[in-house]
Amino acid sequence: MPTNLNSSKLTNQYLHKSIYSLLLVLIFFTSCKGQTKTESPTDKPSELKASLSGKTKLTRTQSLSEYQNVECGLQDKQGNIWFGTTGEGVYKYDGELFTQFTMKDGLSSNCIWSILEDNAGNIWFGTSEGICRTQGDKIIRFEINYLIRPVITDNSYYNDWSTKNSVWSMLQDKSGKLWFGTGDGVYCYNGLSFTRFLANDGVINKDSLHLKVVADIIEDENGMMWFLSGILPGSEGICRYDGKKIERFKPRDYGWNRYGFLNKAGNLIVATRNYGIWTFDGKSFVDYYHPKDLVKSSISYILEDKAGNFWVSSDYGKEQGDTLGGLWYSSNPAEKPFTKIFNKEVFFIMEDNDRNIWFSTRNMGLYRFDRKTITQYSE
């Protein structure tokens, strides 16, 4: 039992951007290796006014697509819940009404892969086209300078939904530094400037890792950083940085992971794309508990709530639309079987301050489970 994701034209475009960026840096900044100077918004800040407000339910405004879903969320220090979607921008729920923010309001894209609240209370949005952040009553954009980004010669894995500028994951570590997992690598932000993590000559990288498309970033109790590699061109496995070297774990020679967390016992739990749930036993990754009827290749999210219950979701079963996917939980997975409470595809799970469980489904569905009743919060 365990203890614990026409080449010349591209070249010209890149050269033009690089030359333009270089001229700007020479004129305005004093540069150093792997670093840009104080960041400022790339566009004039937009007033934080909603595209759509005063709705009691999350309302779809774009054309219907099975890929438009609630992908991420968090509850801020003020009690508001923010939901990031893949196509509808961001929704803010104040406990009564939903307010929507889109590109019209300053976002660089309506596709949101990650949301973070920093120590100062600013809300960061990781979009398919870079980083945005609230600042008072405005949304501002942060751009990572082209000079510190690697040259991408093969764009075959990128598309409208998954670009090299996509920000899949974000974390603020114990020191206050921000980490961003993007389509072309991991970047750090110290409040003044961005650096590319693997451009640091002090990082020992014997596995020649690239850290493209890091689906999740976790800091453990010992200060070690874990990077869960996502879809191609990621798929590098589970990577750990101990402050000096970065090393890779790739059980079963499999590299696509979706989400992870540290449970109350301090153990790392990881949801893989095709092999179910793993945990780290101190030396390697081994199978963890999961619902018996879970189709492992469809797992989408895992969560441990404040009471220690373990939640598992699946975005489908053997095929889209069947009732094999859904949402399960167990109060003690080592001893008690999982209970299934929902039979549709589930993409995302979160717990709010009142212990309600929020979860999303295909085609922009949003639900809340108050431990007794499931209520739909989408049209």
- Whether the per-residue pLDDT at 208 is higher than 70: the answer is yes
Could you give the CA distance from residue 228 to residue 162 in angstroms, rounded to a whole number? 17
Mean predicted confidence (pLDDT) in 208-229? 96
Is 3 inside a domain boundary? no
Q: How far apart are CA 331 and CA 368, in angstroms?
A: 19
The stretches of 201-326 forming alpha helices (DSSP H) are none
Whether 9 has a pLDDT exceeding 70, the answer reads: no
Q: Which run of H or E residues covers position 27? A: helix 8-28
Q: Give a yes or no: residue 90 inside a domain.
A: yes
3-state class of 99 per DSSP? Answer: strand
The answer to whether position 300 is within a domain reads yes
Q: Which domain holds residue 355?
A: 8-376
What pLDDT sits at residue 158? Answer: 79
Residues 1-28 as b/e (b if ≥16 CB within 10 A, e otherwise) read: ebebbeeeeeeeeeeeeeeebeeebeee
Cβ within 8 Å of residue 374, ≥6 positions away: 341, 342, 367, 368
Asked if residue 2 is part of any domain, the answer here is no
Strands 299-304 and 285-287, by their bridges, are: unpaired
Whether the per-residue pLDDT at 317 is higher than 50: the answer is yes
Does 79 or 50 have the greater pLDDT score?
79
Q: The CATH number of the domain where 220 resides is what?
A: 2.130.10.10
CA distance 205 to 239: 11
What does the alpha-carbon distance between residue 339 and residue 164 come to, in Å, rounded to a whole number?
39
- Contact by Cβ (8 Å): 272, 302: no
| pLDDT for position 151 | 84
Tell me what percent of the residues of the chain surpass a pLDDT of 90: 72
- How do residues 248-306 score in pLDDT, each as one tens digit? 999 999 999 999 999 999 999 999 999 999 999 899 999 999 999 999 999 999 999 99
Residue 22's pLDDT band (boundaries 50, 70, 90)? very low
Contact 148, 135 (CB under 8 A): no
DSSP 125-180: EEETTEEEEEETTEEEEE---GGGSPP----TT--SSS-TT-EEEEEE-TTS-EEE
Would you call the peptide bond into 233 cis, given omega within 30 degrees of 0 as the criterion? Answer: yes
Instruction: Report the alpha-carbon distance of residue 235 to residue 262 in Å, rounded.
Output: 21
pLDDT band at residue 162, thresholds of 50, 70 and 90?
Answer: confident
Section 145-169 average pLDDT? 84
**Is 1 domain-assigned?**
no
Considering the domain boundaries, does residue 263 fall inside one? yes
Tell me the C-alpha distance between 208 and 199, whole Å: 12
Number of domains in the chain: 1
Q: 362 vs 75, which has greater pLDDT?
A: 75
